[in-house]
Amino acid sequence: MGKKDDINFSDKYNLKWIVMVTLWTFIMAMIFSIVTEGLVKNLDIFLAFIILIIIILIGIFFDIIGIAVTTAEEKPFHAMAANKVEEARYAIKLVRNAGQVSNFCNDVIGDISGIVSGAVGTTIIYKLMDIYDIKNGILLSIIVTSLVASLTVGGKAFGKSIAILYSEKIILKTAVVFNFINNKLGIDLLPEKKKNNKNNRQNNRLD
């Protein structure tokens, strides 16, 4: 009884995925922070701002994919698969793994982008203070931080509308990338997952 409960607990909360995504977030955040900080420190202020905007755009781009996956339905991709559309199989897998895909896109990449953009923004502030010999950088800090926040929030709000309106097209384009990686590198990034069945879930709860 206890063993079954342990297995059900692990499956229910997907502990393996949680541990893996936590470790990957730590590693990726550290790598991105080191690379971007190193780049920004050695670039002029204009290019530093370009790097900042690119980081924000990466967060918005992955946020769009994460939202598209959670709002899309599986049915149109089955029709495509029946018509021998090669990418449709991966599109179905993306929808069936919506929880993990959205977690990676919205939380892992999204949060890392937010943290790194904040760190880059801070570096830009210090560079501006040094260039223009600014003694008190409080006002400058407020302006740069507000700029980063407004670009991030505004971009994600705009991206959310796109993700909801064009979720099917976005998933299909994403599936093209996954399919390419699978065919060329032999790496299957998404596990096979059966379609969720509400009745089965209810029966499992009763058991």
Q: What average pLDDT does this structure show over 92-115?
A: 93
Please give the pLDDT value at position 196.
Answer: 52
Global pTM reads 0.83
pLDDT at 141: 94
Would you state the structure tokens that stand for residue 98, as one six-digit string? 């919506």
Asked if pLDDT for residue 41 goes beyond 70, the answer is yes
In this structure, what token pair is assigned to residue 78?
């089955």
DSSP string, 162-194: HHHHTHHHHHHHHHHHHHHHHHHH----S---P
Give pLDDT, residue 86: 87
Band (pLDDT 50/70/90 cuts) for residue 201 is very low
Query: Any idea of the CA torsion for 35, 36, 37, 41, to the nearest 10 degrees?
Result: 110
174: phi then psi, degrees, rounded to nearest 5: -65, -40
For residue 12, the tally of other CB atoms under 10 A from its CB is 9
Q: Examine the pLDDT at 68 and tell me if it is beyond 90.
A: yes
Give the model confidence (pLDDT) of 151-200 as tens digits: 999 999 999 999 999 999 999 999 999 889 988 888 887 767 666 544 44
For residue 135, pLDDT beyond 80: yes
